[in-house]
A and B are shown apart, each in its own frame.
Chain A
Amino acid sequence: KQEVTQIPAALSVPEGENLVLNCSFTDSAIYNLQWFRQDPGKGLTSLLLIQSSQREQTSGRLNASLDKSSGRSTLYIAASQPGDSATYLCAVSGYSTLTFGKGTMLLVSP
């Protein structure tokens, strides 16, 4: 059974800092890995999708990497802003499975 762990559970940083969120998974037989953002009381917004054959994806200030063999992914956020405050979720997709971590709650203070 796939298990996904996200570290840290919570993170508080001042505006402007670069930061890294970590995701690890136990079964490397995945199709892809997806990072989502969830704002309080809202649904999930997809940030980045990395196929199993890829090593990284970039979108604006966000960069996600994938090391399938070691079961790890990182989400790098450059020059953080207060608007980045949210919970970040990592989800791993296998055949007929989509397994989520418990998320990292990020607070960026002005």
Chain B
Amino acid sequence: GAGVSQSPSNKVTEKGKDVELRCDPISGHTALYWYRQRLGQGLEFLIYFQGNSAPDKSGLPSDRFSAERTGESVSTLTIQRTQQEDSAVYLCASSLEISGTDNYGYTFGSGTRLTVV
């Protein structure tokens, strides 16, 4: 597609339920990031995928969070047993593969606003 697509755009869930967030990157983009942005706060790195390499999961806040991506396709971020502190906007970004010292910048999706009640 022309841009990065995220779904759903809004999600309200009850505390303790599992949720799955989806990110469709721009076709051909091998690099993909997930970020979290709590209300009034900056962007918090969650996880990074680059092609078929092992993902960088160093930003995942707890073992309730997991993410998957196969190759250059769709990525899903799953949050198990949601807590109120998980309420935030979850943003996804993709980019062409880094080559040498250049890369092509990142394009962000519009995000998924998650509210845990």
Q: Could you say which residues of chain A place their CB within 8 Å of the CB of B56?
A: 96
> Could you tell me the distance between the alpha carbons of A25 and B65 in the complex, rounded to whole angstroms?
29
Contact with B along A21-40 (1 / 0, CB 8 A): 00000000001101010000
Q: How many residues of B contact A (CB 8 A)?
A: 23
> Could you tell me the distance between the alpha carbons of A101 and B42 in the complex, rounded to whole angstroms?
7
Dominant secondary structure of chain A at its interface with chain B:
strand
> Could you tell me the distance between the alpha carbons of A42 and B6 in the complex, rounded to whole angstroms?
12
**Which of A43, A93, A102 interacts with B42 by CB under 8 Å?**
A102
> Could you tell me the distance between the alpha carbons of A45 and B111 in the complex, rounded to whole angstroms?
12
- B residues near A (Cβ < 8 Å) are 33, 35, 42-43, 45, 48, 50, 56, 91, 93, 98, 101-111, 113
Q: Are B110 and A42 in contact (CB under 8 A)?
A: yes
Q: How many residues of A contact B (CB 8 A)?
A: 26
Contacts A53-B101, A96-B48 given; indicate if A44 touches B33 (C-beta within 8 A). Answer: no
- A-B contact count, CB below 8 Å? 58
Q: Are A46 and B107 in contact (CB under 8 A)?
A: yes
Q: Could you say which residues of chain A place their CB within 8 Å of the CB of B110?
A: 42-43
Which of chain A's residues has its CB closest to B100's CB? A31
Dominant secondary structure of chain B at its interface with chain A:
strand
- A residues near B (Cβ < 8 Å) are 31-32, 34, 36, 41-46, 49, 51-53, 89, 91, 93, 95-103
Task: Identify 20 residue pairs between A and B in the complex whose beta-carbon atoms are under 8 Å apart, listed by A's number.
Answer: A31-B101, A31-B102, A31-B103, A32-B102, A41-B113, A42-B110, A42-B111, A43-B91, A46-B108, A52-B101, A53-B101, A93-B105, A93-B106, A96-B98, A98-B33, A98-B48, A98-B93, A100-B43, A102-B42, A103-B42
Minimum distance in angstroms from A2 CB to a CB of chain B? 11
